């Protein structure tokens, strides 16, 4: 793959980004080699490259035949822009000099005029039925095929492409011998006949020209307006792929940076993140591409020419496009006349033109007449290329509009968010003369043996070289042995299509909260999964139904046991995203119907009681698959298992994790915001905690005294974090298998000031789960002022100053806690929400006051610290950091980091990747390794760092 980074673009890039932009172009080695040569050649006159001299024919067979066979060059008649031919006049001259008769079917469209072929000895003739070999570039119309002839052209049938199966059927029916240029390869498997170089040249011209038009529409006049001139002017420098990030930010603005990518730069095995070329060739489905995270974020344009099959990883998916097109932050604020780009990625040129292939959202090819379109990632649509009947691109190419006019005319198609796409499936046709001569030079050595092919005789009787023999797709009414797999592919596809509805895997998702959407989005990527969503919140389920293809079911879990059981019985898997108290109800229904289940929540004692029943049912129930618990377990187990493999022991493990508002949105008394019911968060500080510190068990009481256990965190000092222990950490010595550890602590992170504010609420009795009759539905409405009067023991009619003094006394005169109470309106006359308890009422109040507003985003911060003693006696201090921000127009950080691991585990269960049975967590390599690898592809990236001491 070839990656380019523009920078003599300095004059316009420096205006709005003050740093170079990167153009990335994945392409095959042939393409990258051709372009590298072209870019480095002095003067670079791509249309005047010195042509190779015609060599002699590679084979001189059957000398002395009295009646030599006849060859024909057919007219290209499928595409109006196809002006190439398989051979140029000088090749025809060489063939006729050997005594062969060559027929040329007339064509006014062919780039090389008919008279040039006649001068070379060809015979201009419409009827080519006399020929035994008929050469073309693209497929002929089915109704123009002539029986029992040998044809050579690009058939596009070797992947059982559905669009060309009718052609293949007709070829078999008419007993035609088909030679496909694409399969003419040498002993190394490298193609010996191809237009590849000229596809790359034309593609590069197109996309640079297209980028000029696109950037013009975005408000910039650029050197890209003339592609050939740019190549003459721009200096190029190639860098290694891992250097792209750096040069995109700090590179020389006077250069065009590029890189050449190979498989090992972006392909990794799902289970362990390693690339093994031998294993990949055997099992490509076991690999994923990191192109979307390691290369694409630092590119402005890339050119793709890789060969893709259905079992190989994609370079970019639709979800990747959404992420890459998210508005980026520019260090320079745009001003009128010098706007910033809406996003980093500007353009894609897909030379492979493989619809729905390595670039999933490239679903239709563009054409030479209409070379560009805009892909809108938000709506998954391709914008029209015309405006008021005017083809804006054609008008530009034919100089019918000026620079100023193109901006006005092009606006509906090229302004706003989106990627400029160019995916012409016959790129070399834009340089038809050069492409014809280049292709003909490669084909010429094999022409004579192809002329001598007799399609009426058995294939095995023909004296073909391996290059030609192995390119014969069909002969004598049957597929050649090497290509019989095409029929199997067809049958497999047809069988899959006919059985798709019957074989769909059925998943029930219970709950429609903030985590549900990432789960639905991830599972919806597999068209073979049928999703049912159950919830008692009608408006939420209706909203999800508008975005995803789901079967909505309105039901209240815990009250409709019979309905739940009936629904579960029809599923292959259940995902419970409900409050943790409802998981046992769901688990019981799964046990009864022997259906697997996953959840992001803790494996509670109530779930643990069902462990024997789960085992007896022979099903798998996986819990603790979210963030905390979830990814924290997985990251811990990866480090622990790796340490054990080298004979090391874990001496200490400390893990802190927190979901927080992004710093700019933390300006409230709690320094915190809620995206779901605050009850669980508030009650957490009332729970006792236990941890192990330097070999001693430390017990922390909940409630007022929990503030004593809060400690400032010295990492990420700019965030000003504090942490406190969470639940019982000591049990993880057994769960993680680290009984050697003298320190074990799992805790929660918050911004400094959170704990103190909540401590004030505890002092006032606001975090109390006991029933409170005055808040019941039948009771008289109550204001917060009146409720606080009750809680501090004064008359409800007390004046504000009296209440404030009483509250302050209750808080021990702490001004910070008092300010939090006042700022949240707890001394005012706003009505208290109806609720079962005071903390439930406070939860509803805080959910309204401290919820995320439009444009606000959250973040999650996790830090795992390990002390690892190695057999050498050295101590390794290892840290793992995970920081994820929410997307303003997408999912929150918490939703992503909880929902995606849960969805991945669900998919693994459906696909049979997880074989374990029983009630389990994500503690085995079978589960955590694939998930930790796959989250990277979703932009959830963690970093590690180690220091060694004696």
Q: DSSP secondary structure string, 868-926? A: EE-TTS-EEEEEEEEEEEPPTTS--HHHHHHHHHHHHHHHHHHTT-----EEE-S-SHH
Q: Is the pLDDT of residue 222 over 60?
A: no
Residue 119 tokens read as 């001068």
- Give pLDDT, residue 26: 35
Higher pLDDT: 570 or 11? It is 570
Three-state DSSP state, 157? coil
Say yes or no to pLDDT of 300 above 90. no
Among 294, 320, 350, 628, the active-site one is 628
Mean pLDDT over the full length of the chain:
81
Q: Which residues pair with 3 in a beta bridge?
A: 259
% of residues, the chain, pLDDT over 70? 81
DSSP-derived letter for residue 20 is -
Work out the pLDDT band at 31, boundaries 50, 70, 90.
very low
Please name which of 191, 182, 174 lies closest in space to residue 475, comparing C-alpha atoms: 174
Burial of 612 (0-12, 13-18, 19+ CB in 10 A): exposed
Least confident interval from 409-413, 646-650, 659-663: 409-413
Instruction: Please answer whether residues 341 and 16 qualify as being in contact, where contact means their C-beta atoms are separated by less than 8 angstroms.
Output: yes
SS3 assignment, position 396: helix
pLDDT for the residue 215: 64
In angstroms, the CA 307 to CA 295 distance is 19
Which strands, in side-by-side order, build the sheet including 133-135?
A: 123-124, 101-104, 70-73, 133-135, 150-153, 177-180, 472-475, 478-479
CB 757 within 8 A of CB 821: no
Q: How many C-alpha atoms does 692 have within 13 Å on its Cβ side?
A: 17
Compute the distance between CA of residue 853 and CA of residue 845 in angstroms, rounded to an integer. Answer: 15
| Per-residue pLDDT, 30 | 27
Q: 942 pLDDT exceeds 80?
A: yes
Angle (CA) 857-903-621 rounded to 5° is 130
> Rounded distance, CA 189 to CA 162, Å?
25
Residue 499: exposure state from Cβ atoms within 10 A (0-12, 13-18, ≥19): exposed
Omega of the bond leading into 855 within 30 degrees of 0 (cis): no
882, 631 contact by CB (below 8 A):
yes
378-387, 413-422, 853-862: lowest mean pLDDT where? 378-387
> Residue 388 — very low, low, confident or very high, per pLDDT cuts 50/70/90?
very low
Confidence of residue 816 (pLDDT cuts 50, 70, 90): very high
> Strands, DSSP E only, in 468-572?
472-475, 478-479, 505-510, 529-535, 550-554
Residue 11 pLDDT level (bands cut at 50, 70, 90): very low
Q: pLDDT band at residue 329, thresholds of 50, 70 and 90? A: low
The predicted structure's pLDDT at residue 413: 47
**478-497: per-residue pLDDT in tens?**
999 999 999 988 887 777 66
Beta bridge mates, 861: 658, 883
Q: How far apart, in whole angstroms, are the C-alpha atoms of residue 900 and residue 626? A: 8
- CA distance to 137, 146, 152, 247, per residue, from 133 (Å): 13, 11, 8, 53
What pLDDT is attached to residue 496? Answer: 65
CB 192 within 8 A of CB 185: yes
- The reported pLDDT for the residue numbered 703 is 81
How far, in Å, are 64, 132, 323 from residue 150 at the CA level? 22, 6, 49
- Is the confidence at residue 824, as pLDDT, over 60? yes
More confident residue, 731 or 189: 731
Q: State residue 231's pLDDT score.
A: 41
Mean pLDDT of 299-313: 79
Q: Rg for the chain (alpha carbons), in Å? A: 34
Distances (CA, A) of 786 to 388, 775, 830: 66, 11, 10
Structure confidence at residue 391 (pLDDT): 44
Apex 431 CA angle, 428 and 433, nearest 5: 110
C-alpha distance from residue 613 to each of 570, 578, 597, 912 (Å): 20, 21, 13, 22
Residue 208 predicted with pLDDT over 80: no
Quote the pLDDT of residue 245.
Answer: 86
Question: What confidence score (pLDDT) does residue 33 get?
Answer: 28
> Per residue in 144-153, pLDDT tens?
999 999 999 9
Q: Is the pLDDT of residue 330 over 80?
A: no
| pLDDT of res. 160 | 86
Other CB atoms within a 10 A radius of the CB of residue 146 amount to: 18
Q: How confident is the model at residue 875 (pLDDT cuts 50, 70, 90)?
A: very high
* Mean pLDDT for the stretch of residues 171-186: 95
Q: According to DSSP H, which parts of 532-687 are helical?
A: 538-547, 561-568, 583-593, 605-608, 611-617, 631-645, 679-684
- At residue 513 the predicted structure's pLDDT band, cuts being 50, 70 and 90, is confident
pLDDT at 181 over 80: yes
pLDDT band at 794 (very low <50, low <70, confident <90, very high): very high
Q: Does the CA dihedral 748-749-750-753 come out positive or negative?
A: positive
Q: What is the pLDDT of residues 682-723, one digit of tens each?
A: 888 888 999 999 999 999 988 877 777 889 998 888 889 999
Cα–Cα distance, 310 to 316 (Å, whole number): 14
Looking up tokens 């002092």, which residue turns up? 763
Q: How confident is the model at residue 337 (pLDDT cuts 50, 70, 90)?
A: low
Q: How much is the average pLDDT of 124-138?
A: 95
628 is catalytic: yes
Higher pLDDT, 632 or 209: 632
E strand intervals along 413-502: 419-422, 472-475, 478-479
pTM over 0.85? The answer is no
């Amino acid at each position: 793959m070839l990656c380019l980074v523009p920078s003599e673009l300095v004059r316009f890039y420096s205006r709005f980004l003050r740093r170079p932009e990167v153009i990335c172009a994945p392409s095959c080695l042939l393409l990258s080699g051709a372009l590298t040569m072209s870019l480095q050649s002095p003067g670079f006159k791509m249309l005047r490259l010195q042509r190779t001299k015609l060599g002699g024919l590679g084979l001189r067979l059957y000398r002395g035949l009295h009646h030599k066979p006849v060859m024909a060059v057919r007219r290209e008649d499928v595409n109006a822009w196809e002006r190439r031919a398989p051979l140029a006049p000088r090749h025809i001259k060489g063939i006729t000099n050997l005594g062969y008769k060559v027929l040329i079917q007339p064509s006014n469209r062919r780039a090389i005029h008919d008279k040039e072929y006649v001068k070379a000895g060809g015979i201009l003739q419409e009827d080519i039925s006399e020929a035994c070999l008929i050469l073309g570039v693209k497929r002929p119309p089915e109704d123009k095929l002539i029986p029992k002839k040998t044809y050579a052209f690009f058939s596009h049938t070797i992947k059982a492409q559905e669009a060309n199966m009718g052609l293949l059927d007709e070829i078999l029916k008419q007993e035609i011998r088909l030679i496909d240029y694409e399969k003419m390869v040498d002993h190394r498997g490298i193609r010996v006949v191809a237009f590849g170089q000229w596809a790359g040249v034309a593609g590069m011209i197109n996309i640079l020209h297209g980028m000029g038009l696109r950037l013009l529409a975005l408000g910039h006049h650029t050197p890209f307006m003339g592609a050939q001139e740019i190549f003459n002017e721009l200096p190029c420098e190639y860098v290694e792929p891992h250097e792209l990030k750096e040069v995109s930010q700090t590179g020389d603005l006077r250069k065009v940076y590029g890189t050449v990518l190979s498989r090992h730069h972006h392909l990794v095995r799902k289970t362990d993140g390693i690339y093994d070329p031998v294993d990949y060739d055997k099992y490509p489905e076991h690999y994923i591409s990191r192109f979307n995270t390691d290369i694409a974020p630092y590119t402005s344009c890339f050119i793709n020419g890789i060969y893709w099959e259905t079992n190989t990883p994609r370079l970019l998916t639709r979800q990747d496009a959404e992420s890459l097109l998210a508005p980026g932050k520019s260090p320079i604020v745009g001003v009128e006349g010098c706007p910033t780009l809406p996003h980093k990625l500007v353009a894609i040129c897909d030379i492979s033109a493989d619809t729905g292939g390595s670039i999933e959202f490239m679903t239709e090819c563009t054409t030479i007449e209409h070379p560009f379109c805009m892909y809108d990632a938000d709506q998954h649509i391709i914008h029209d290329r015309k405006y008021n009947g005017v083809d804006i691109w054609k008008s530009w190419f034919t100089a019918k509009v000026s620079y100023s006019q193109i901006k006005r005319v092009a606006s509906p198609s090229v302004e706003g968010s989106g990627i400029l796409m160019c995916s012409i499936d016959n790129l070399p046709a834009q340089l038809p003369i050069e492409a014809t001569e280049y292709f003909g030079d490669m084909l010429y050595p094999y022409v004579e043996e192809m002329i001598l092919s007799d399609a009426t005789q058995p294939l095995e009787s023909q004296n073909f070289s391996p290059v030609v023999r192995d390119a014969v797709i069909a002969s004598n009414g049957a597929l050649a042995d090497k290509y019989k797999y095409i029929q199997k592919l067809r049958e497999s596809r047809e069988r899959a299509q006919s059985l798709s509805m019957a074989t769909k895997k059925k998943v029930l998702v219970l709950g429609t909260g903030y985590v549900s959407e990432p789960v639905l989005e991830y599972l919806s990527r597999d068209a073979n999964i049928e999703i049912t969503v159950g919830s008692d919140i009608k408006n939420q389920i209706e909203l999800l139904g508008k975005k995803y293809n789901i079967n909505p079911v309105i039901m209240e879990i815990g009250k409709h046991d019979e309905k739940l059981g009936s629904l579960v019985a029809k599923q292959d898997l259940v995902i419970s995203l409900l409050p943790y108290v409802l998981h046992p109800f769901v688990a019981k229904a799964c046990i009864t119907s022997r259906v697997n289940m996953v959840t992001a929540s803790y494996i509670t004692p109530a779930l643990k009681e069902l462990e024997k029943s789960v085992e007896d049912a022979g099903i798998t129930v996986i819990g603790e698959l979210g963030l905390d618990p979830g990814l924290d377990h997985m990251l811990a187990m990866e480090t622990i298992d790796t340490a054990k493999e080298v004979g090391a022991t874990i001496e200490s493990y400390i893990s802190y994790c927190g979901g927080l508002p992004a710093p700019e949105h933390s300006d409230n008394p709690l320094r915190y915001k809620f995206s779901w019911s605050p009850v669980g968060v508030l009650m957490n500080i009332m729970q006792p905690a236990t941890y192990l510190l330097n070999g001693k068990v430390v017990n922390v009481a909940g409630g007022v005294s929990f503030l004593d256990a809060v400690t400032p965190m010295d990492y990420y000092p700019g965030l000003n974090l504090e942490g406190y222990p969470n639940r019982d950490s000591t049990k993880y010595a057994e769960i993680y298998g680290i009984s050697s550890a003298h320190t074990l602590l799992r805790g929660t992170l918050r911004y400094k000031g959170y704990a103190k504010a909540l401590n004030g609420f505890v002092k006032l009795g606001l975090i109390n789960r006991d029933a409170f009759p005055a808040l019941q539905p039948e009771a008289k409405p109550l204001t917060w002022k009146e409720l606080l009067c009750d809680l501090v023991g004064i008359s409800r009619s007390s004046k504000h100053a009296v209440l404030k003094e009483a509250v302050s006394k209750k808080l021990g005169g702490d001004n910070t806690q008092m300010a939090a109470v006042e700022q949240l309106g707890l001394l005012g006359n706003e009505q208290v929400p109806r609720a079962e308890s005071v903390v439930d009422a406070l939860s509803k109040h805080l959910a309204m006051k401290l919820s995320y507003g439009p444009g606000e985003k959250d973040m999650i911060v996790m830090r795992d610290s390990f002390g690892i003693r190695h057999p050498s006696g050295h101590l390794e201090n290892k840290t793992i950091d995970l920081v994820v921000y929410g997307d303003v127009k997408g999912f929150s950080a918490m939703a992503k980091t909880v929902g995606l691991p849960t969805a991945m585990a669900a998919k693994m269960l459906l696909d049979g990747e997880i074989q374990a049975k029983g009630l389990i967590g994500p503690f085995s390599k079978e589960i955590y390794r694939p998930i930790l690898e796959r989250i990277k592809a979703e932009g959830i990236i963690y970093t590690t760092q180690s220091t060694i001491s004696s």
